[in-house]
Amino acid sequence: MTPASQLVTAAAWSLHPQLAKDTAPVGELALSRLLAINAADYPWLVLVPRRAELSEIADLGNDALLLMREIALVSRVLKEVTQCDKLNIAAIGNVVPQLHVHIVARRKTDPLWPKPVWGAAPPRAGEREAFARFIASIHGKLGLAEENNGASFNQ
Amino acid sequence: MTPASQLVTAAAWSLHPQLAKDTAPVGELALSRLLAINAADYPWLVLVPRRAELSEIADLGNDALLLMREIALVSRVLKEVTQCDKLNIAAIGNVVPQLHVHIVARRKTDPLWPKPVWGAAPPRAGEREAFARFIASIHGKLGLAEENNGASFNQ
């Protein structure tokens, strides 16, 4: 029998305060919370699996496959919305240990190209309305993707 | 009927010359070629799916799940061999468009911590013998992993 204390621990996922501070919520996928960073030059999404005390993809077990499905789904939607030249995807976590995966839309004309966005100065924020439209676009396309291919997306 | 020219194109995967120049081979997994970069301060592996003309994970289709299995397998082996503090994983491809995934072992005491290794100066190479021992260790552990959990690894 599982002690109640362990059950409580297993359920106690919550978004890391630094991620909460730096992002706006987009919605909930089957495994992950989808977040957006307001970066005018690099449309920037973040997937955070709702699993407590995880910092490495390798520790996800079979949920790693679900995470990959969500990375692929969000990548397609981000590419469709932004018509970007390249997607940059990374799980780093040297500063914020809670497992999170960046999915960033890059253009050959953006200020940092071809350098990665990580380790650079904090991104320039865009106008609030533009950021809200971006989030609404991603949200809408994920809704369409659910109808088209059965991928799970619940706001 | 598929024209012969298309068949030739589909089969024509080969390692990008820049990746070949920057790395040493470790072995072949079911989907990907595993490579190592000689970086004394950041034990550094690279997975390259053997699929021609691919630059995005989202274009892998179902092979994305196989890639994730290989990312998780190689992550566990790299962590075991290096006893690192954190793994940094990324698919960037802004300079070399052929799809490749970096898996880098980081320590809190390494010269760049907590910054990512990408976009920084080229890594300092270690001694040839130490690099050969690192490759042999990874290769050996992947062999053990094959016996233990059925993951595919064929040198």
Q: Is residue A155, in this structure, part of any structural domain at all?
A: no
Question: CA B23, CA B20: separation in Å to the nearest integer?
Answer: 6
Q: How far is CA B90 from CA A74, B57, B59, B115, B143, in A?
A: 16, 11, 16, 14, 24
Question: CA B97, CA A114: separation in Å to the nearest integer?
Answer: 11
Can you give the pLDDT at residue B4? 52
Answering whether pTM is above 0.90, one says no
Q: Is residue A154, in this structure, part of any structural domain at all?
A: no
* Rounded mean pLDDT, A76-99: 98
The DSSP annotation for A35-94 comes to: EEE--TTS-EEEEEE--TT---GGGGTTHHHHHHHHHHHHHHHHHHHH--SEEEEEE--S
- Give alpha helix (H) positions in B1-155: 4-11, 17-22, 63-82, 128-149
User: For residue B56, what are the contacts with CB-CB under 8 A and spacing of at least 6?
Assistant: A75, A79, A86, A87, B93, B99
Taking an 8 Å cut-off on Cβ atoms, the answer to whether A90 and B95 are in contact is no
Instruction: Indicate which CATH number applies to the domain containing A10.
Output: 3.30.428.10
Can you give the pLDDT at residue A4? 52
Q: Is residue A153, in this structure, part of any structural domain at all?
A: no
A72 close to B57: Cβ distance less than 8 angstroms: yes
Which of A56, A92, A142 to mutate to probe the B interface, most B CBs <10 Å?
Answer: A92
Taking an 8 Å cut-off on Cβ atoms, the answer to whether A75 and B94 are in contact is no
Taking an 8 Å cut-off on Cβ atoms, the answer to whether B90 and A88 are in contact is yes
Give the distance, in angstroms, between the CA of residue B64 and the centroid of all CA atoms in the same chain: 14
A54 vs B8, residue with greater confidence? A54
Residue A85 has pLDDT above 90, yes or no: yes
Interface A-B: count of C-beta contacts within 8 A? 113
Q: How many domains does chain B have?
A: 1
Taking an 8 Å cut-off on Cβ atoms, the answer to whether B75 and A65 are in contact is no
Residues of chain B predicted below pLDDT 50: 1-2, 5-6, 145-155
Range of the domain at B83: 4-115+123-146
Q: Is residue B152, in this structure, part of any structural domain at all?
A: no
Can you give the pLDDT at residue A20? 98
User: For residue A106, what are the contacts with CB-CB under 8 A and spacing of at least 6?
Assistant: A42, A84, A85, A86, A87, A88, A113, A117, B94
Q: Is residue B151, in this structure, part of any structural domain at all?
A: no
pLDDT tens readout for residues B46-77: 999 999 999 999 999 999 999 999 999 999 99
Which of B54, B84, B118 to mutate to probe the A interface, most A CBs <10 Å?
Answer: B118
Question: CA A54, CA A100: separation in Å to the nearest integer?
Answer: 9
Q: Is residue A151, in this structure, part of any structural domain at all?
A: no
Q: What is the CA radius of gyration of chain B?
A: 16
A68 closest CB neighbour out of B65, B75, B115 = B65
B94 closest CB neighbour out of A76, A106, A118 = A106
Q: With bands split at pLDDT 50, 70 and 90, how would you rate the model's confidence at A152?
A: very low
pLDDT tens readout for residues B131-141: 999 999 999 99
Taking an 8 Å cut-off on Cβ atoms, the answer to whether B94 and A116 are in contact is yes
**ipTM of this predicted complex?**
0.88
Q: What is the CA radius of gyration of chain A?
A: 16
Token output for A127: 């106008």
Which of B45, B92, B108, B149 to mutate to probe the A interface, most A CBs <10 Å?
Answer: B92
Residue of B nearest to A59 (CA): B72
Q: Is residue B153, in this structure, part of any structural domain at all?
A: no
Can you give the pLDDT at residue A35? 98
Can you give the pLDDT at residue A155? 36
Q: Is residue B154, in this structure, part of any structural domain at all?
A: no
Taking an 8 Å cut-off on Cβ atoms, the answer to whether B65 and A60 are in contact is no
The number of beta carbons lying within 10 Å of the beta carbon of residue A41 is: 17
